[in-house]
Chains A and B, each alone.
Chain A
Amino acid sequence: MSGWKVTTEIAKRDLLDLWRAKMLLVFFILMPLLFMAMFGFIYPPTVQVNPYSGQIASQYPNLELAIVQQDTGQIARNVEAQFIQIAESQGIFRVNEMTDYSTARNGIVKGQVSGIVVIPQGFSAAIQADTQATVQVTVDQTNPSVAAAVQSEVAEIFGAIEGQMSTQYLQNFDPTVNPTFVLQPMAITSIPLIAGVPSSFEYLAPSFMALTVITGALNGVSTAISREKEQGTMDGLLVAPIPRQSVILGKIVAQTVRGLIQGFLILGLSMVLFGVVIYGSPITMLLVMVLGVASFIGVGIIVTSLAPEQETAQMMTTLLQFPMMFLSGILFPINQLPVAVQYIGKTFPLYYAADALRKVVILNASVSIIMPDLLVLLAYSVVTMAIAVPIFNRAMAR
C-alpha cells in the first residue's frame, strides 16, 4: 500500500477513535468556551464611551450607588438631581439616597452598594463664590474591577455636569465667547476601524481559537502516540509492512483536522453565545490555524518520543502550556508586561498565531498583512518537524 494511502488510513482511524470518544469531544469544546466566558466577563475596560452617541457604556450596568447629601443649598440639590438623572437614564447606577456617611459605609461593607458619592457641606457656597467645590467618592476596594468602574463612571457623570455648569457660567460672563471653545478647544473624534463597540470577546474569541488549536496539537499528538504505545497497537503498526513515516504523518493529519474542527466550532459558538462578529475571511483563518497546528505538532512529537511514559509527557506539555497561555497575549495584550517578559512571550508560536487570527477576525486583515506572523509559524513548523520525524523514527527502530 502506498505511503499516502497508509497515512490516510491511519489518520482516518485516529479520527474514528476520537469520534467514538464523544465525551472527550464535548470536553474539548466546552473547556475553552468556559474559559472564554470567565475571562470575558471580568475583562476591562470598565467604561466605554460610544463614539457615535457619546453615551457611556458600562461593563457593570446598574450598579448600586449611595449618595449622601450633606449640603443644604439649592445648588447641591440641583447637582444631585442632575447626577441621578444622568446615572439612571443611562443605566449606569441605581442611586440610593442615604442620610449619612456611616450608613452608606455600612452599605458597602454589607455589599448593598458598590460606592458612595458625598456632596459635602459647603458645596453650594463654594460654587456660589466661584471657587472649586469638592465631591467625595468612596469605592468598594475589595473588588478592584468594580471599584475602577465606579470611579471612572462617577467622574464621567460629574464631567458632564461640570461641562453644563461651565457653559452656563461663560454665557453669563460673556455672551460673545463660545463656551465650547473655552471648555474644550479641541474635540477628539474617533474614526473606528470597525462598526460598533468591540467587546472583550472580540479579543478573546480569536485568542482562544488559537490557544485551543495549538494546545490541542501539543497534547493531541502526544496523547495519541502514548495511547498507541500503552495499548500495544504501536507494535501492530510497526510490524505491518508500511512506511515508518506514515505512522507519524497519519497522526499529524488527524490532529490537524481535529484542531481545525475545534477551532471553527469555538468560533461559531462565540458568534452565537458571545455575539462575536467576524470581519475576516474564513480561508485566511484556516491558513493561520493550519500553520499554528503545524508549528506545535513537532514539539508534541519530540516531547512524547523522549518521555518514558505518558504521565511525564503530559507533565512536560502542561509545563509548556501555562507560561505560554499567559505570556502570548491570549488573555490580555502583552504590552502591559515588562519588556524582558514580552520577549519571552514572543518566542512562542502561539503569540503569532493569536495575533494573526485577531487581525483577521476583527480587522479583516489580508494574507499579505499577516505575512510576518505566517512566516514565523512556517519557520517553526519546518524546524520542529525536521527534528521530530527523525527522532520519532529513531525511537521506533530501537
Chain B
Amino acid sequence: MTLQRTDLAPLSECAIETHGLTKKFGSFTAVDHIDLAVRKGEIYGFLGPNGAGKSTTIRMLCTLLKPSSGAGKVAGFDIDSEANEVRKRIGLVSEKLIMYTRLTAEQNLMFFGRLYGVDNAELKPKIEELLDMVKLTPFKDRSVGGFSSGMRQRMNVIRALIHDPEIIFLDEPTTALDPQSTKFVRDTILELKNEGHTIMLTTHIMEEADELSDRISIIDHGKIMATGTVAGLKSEYGTESMLEVFLTVTGRELRDSASDRVSMKAVGRM
C-alpha cells in the first residue's frame, strides 16, 4: 500500500525512510516492499500482530540484518552501505536484555560506553546521570543478573542512551513488564521525545500505540496496511478504539500457525 502524499514529510526532515524495503528468508517473505517516512522528533508506532514483520523491519533499520532488496536511510545514512555511520546515531532497546548478567550495572554501561567511543572522562558522570534517571543508582555495583525484569528493561533503556543517539528504536519494550515498570518506560519514552530524540516503537499493545505515538503504521504479513496519525486513523475507521481500527485493518481471525522454522526471537539464531 503506498503512502498518501500528504503523509510524507519533506525528505530532509526524515529521520528514517525506506523505499521498497524487503526481507526474505528463503521462500518466506517477512517484510514486503515497505515504504516508511518517520519525521525527526516524532514517536512513530509500528503496530502489528505477531509474525507481522515488525522486528525484522527494526532489525534491518538497526543494521542487524541486511535487506534482501529495497533501500533505507536512518539519520541520513544508507543502512546497507553506510551501516557504521547509522550505528553511531541509533540506540536499540529490544525485548531481550542486552546486558552481561555477571557484570555490574556500572561495568556493563562502562563497556558499552567505551564501544561507542564515549570519552572516559564523560562516561562516569553520564552513567550516574542515567542510573539516576531510571532510579537504579543504588544498584550500580550489583550484578545485573540479579535484577528483576522491570529493572532490566530500565537498564536496557539507558544502555541505549549512553551515547546520546538521535534515534531510538524500541522493539516491544513493555511486553513482559509489570504495570509500574510499564508506566515508567512509557513516561521515559515521552520524556525522550521532549528532549528531541526521534523514536520508533514496535508493539502489539493497543494502549501503548495509542498513548505514545504521533503517527502509526499498521503492518501485517510484511506489508503496511494503514498509516496515519492516531486521531486520523480513528476518524477514518469511525471508531474511538485503536483496537477496533487494528482489527478492522488486520481482520478478526486467529493467526495460528506452526512453522518448522524456529522463531528467531525464541532462540536468538544469528
* B-binding residues in A (CB < 8 A): 1, 6, 9, 13, 16-17, 20-21, 229-242, 305, 308-309, 395-398
Contacts and interface: CB of A to CB of B under 8 A. Distances in A.
A300 to B, nearest CB: 15
B92 A235 contact: yes
A390 to B, nearest CB: 14
Interface string B94-112: 1011111111000100011
Which of the listed residues B64, B90, B114 has the most CB atoms from chain A within 10 Å of its own CB?
B114
A397 B117 CA distance: 22
27 contacts: A9-B114, A9-B115, A13-B111, A17-B102, A20-B103, A21-B102, A229-B268, A229-B269, A231-B100, A232-B94, A232-B97, A233-B98, A234-B270, A235-B98, A236-B92, A236-B112, A236-B159, A237-B115, A238-B63, A241-B84, A241-B85, A241-B88, A241-B115, A395-B270, A397-B66, A398-B65, A398-B270
A6 B115 contact: yes
A254 to B, nearest CB: 13
B237 interface: no
A398 B96 CA distance: 19
Contacts of A234: 268, 270
A240 B112 contact: yes
Interface string B74-100: 000000000011011010101011111
B47 interface: no
Give the secondary structure class of A's interface. Answer: helix
A309 B100 contact: no
Contacts of A230: 268
Which of the listed residues A6, A17, A237, A241 has the most CB atoms from chain B within 10 Å of its own CB?
A241
B126 to A, nearest CB: 16
B269 A309 contact: yes
Contacts of A242: 115
A232 B262 contact: no
A5 B91 CA distance: 21
A10 B256 CA distance: 42
Nearest to A229: B268
Considering the complex of A and B, which 10 residue pairs feature the smallest CB-CB distances, nearest first?
Answer: A232-B96, A236-B98, A241-B87, A240-B115, A241-B88, A20-B102, A1-B117, A395-B270, A229-B268, A239-B92
A20 B145 CA distance: 12
A16 B94 contact: no
B139 interface: no
B116 interface: yes
Give the secondary structure class of B's interface. Answer: loop
Given A6-B115, A233-B98, A398-B65, 16 more contacts: A9-B111, A231-B99, A233-B100, A235-B92, A235-B96, A237-B115, A239-B87, A240-B115, A240-B116, A241-B84, A241-B85, A242-B115, A308-B262, A309-B269, A397-B66, A398-B66
Interface of B: 62-66, 84-85, 87-88, 90, 92, 94, 96-103, 107, 111-112, 114-117, 143, 159, 262, 267-270
A13 B112 CA distance: 10
Which of the listed residues A240, A242, A396 has the most CB atoms from chain B within 10 Å of its own CB?
A240
Contacts of A1: 114-117
Contacts of B90: 239
A309 B270 CA distance: 9
B117 A229 contact: no
Given A239-B63, A239-B87, A398-B66, A308 B267 contact: yes
Contacts of B85: 241
A309 B266 CA distance: 11
A241 B62 CA distance: 11
Nearest to A5: B114
B87 A229 contact: no
Nearest to B65: A398
A229 B102 CA distance: 15
Contact of B103 (A16, A396, A397): A16
B115 A231 contact: no
Given A232-B97, A240-B116, A241-B116, A309 B87 contact: no
Contacts of B88: 241
A262 to B, nearest CB: 19
Contacts of A398: 65-66, 270
A21 B63 CA distance: 32
Contact of B62 (A16, A239, A395): A239
A240 B92 CA distance: 10
Contacts of A397: 66
A305 B98 contact: no
Contacts of A309: 267, 269
B115 A305 contact: no
A396 B65 CA distance: 8
A242 B112 CA distance: 11
A358 B212 CA distance: 67
A103 B269 CA distance: 69
Which of the listed residues A236, A305, A309, A396 has the most CB atoms from chain B within 10 Å of its own CB?
A236
Contacts of A16: 103, 107
A333 B176 CA distance: 57
Contacts of B62: 239
B196 to A, nearest CB: 21
Which of the listed residues A1, A9, A234, A235 has the most CB atoms from chain B within 10 Å of its own CB?
A235
